[in-house]
Amino acid sequence: MKNNIKIIIAIVLFAGGMVLPTLTQAAIPRAMLEKSTTYALDNTFHGFRVPTVDSVGAIRYYDVKVNLVVNADGSVSPNALVTSALSPTVGTVNVVPGTYQEFGGTDKCTVTNMKLLNGRTQSFFKCNNAANIFEFSVVTGPITAGHPFQTELLNGKVNLRTDVATQTWGMVTTNNTFTLGPACTISTAAGILIGAKTNGSQLVISVMNAPIGGTAAPTTKCGNTLTKLP
């Protein structure tokens, strides 16, 4: 029995003196494009909220723009032009007045605010992208009595969207054709429903498709993310 105890003690002491291999290791920095929202037009690729992993495993989100350079003979240069910025975190606070511009693009909107008698804030957007000008307006608060666009938004079934409470809603007020972002061209636009959300410095604009059927919420047609200029 004593011999068995000595053997057990010897094993424990031996194990205690061993250097065990570490279970942690450095992460491999990488991007996960498959988990982002992407679209491309002509020479330009856009990736929104592209997750990246750094060497210690921390995840961040970036908006990425890649411009391909096409040579005179039609071949694609390996030296693409890449720009990126941290993706915005957005909410539903009042839109801060000022000028907002698309990161790496030409979309630009000037915003002015007006306080309504019922306590809501109405934001007026005048936007251009070097090709045309369009205007829209959104109003804070729920889509209920007192919202200037209540009838249009309810007719458009916006109240059926699962994210209705996360955006400030309104509609386009000009009737000319306009573009918003590389993949969004709107014609005869007056009355098209639109949502906006912001964190005070970044602004996400979403243009709605017309609703399909009497009980279906409208889907997002397209949109863009703008950053407030100093």
Containing 178, the helix (H) or strand (E) segment is strand 178-179
For 50-60, b/e burial (b = at least 16 CB within 10 A) is bbbeeeeeeee
* Arithmetic mean of pLDDT, 157-174: 91
Residue where a domain terminates, one of 86, 108, 123: 86
Q: Are residues 144 and 172 in the same domain?
A: yes
Q: Are residues 104 and 195 in the same domain?
A: yes
pLDDT tens-place string over residues 6-40:
444 343 333 444 443 444 466 789 998 877 666 66
Q: What is the pLDDT of residue 10?
A: 41
154 close to 163: Cβ distance less than 8 angstroms: no
* Arithmetic mean of pLDDT, 172-190: 73
Residue where a domain terminates, one of 86, 120, 153: 86
Q: Are residues 44 and 102 in the same domain?
A: no
158 close to 169: Cβ distance less than 8 angstroms: yes
Up-side HSE of residue 188: CA atoms within 13 Å toward CB? 0
**What length is written for the chain?**
230
Confirm whether pTM is higher than 0.75.
Answer: no
Q: Are residues 102 and 168 in the same domain?
A: yes
d(CA 75, CA 182): 23
Rounded to 5, what percent of the chain is helix, strand, coil? Answer: 15, 40, 45
Residue where a domain terminates, one of 86, 115, 150: 86
pLDDT tens-place string over residues 54-86:
888 888 888 888 989 999 999 999 999 999 988
77 close to 68: Cβ distance less than 8 angstroms: yes
Task: Measure the CA dihedral 170/174/176/177, to 10°.
Answer: -20
When divided into structural domains, the chain yields a total of 2
Containing 7, the helix (H) or strand (E) segment is helix 2-16
Closest CA to 149 of 85, 196, 183: 196
pLDDT confidence band for 110 (50 / 70 / 90): very high
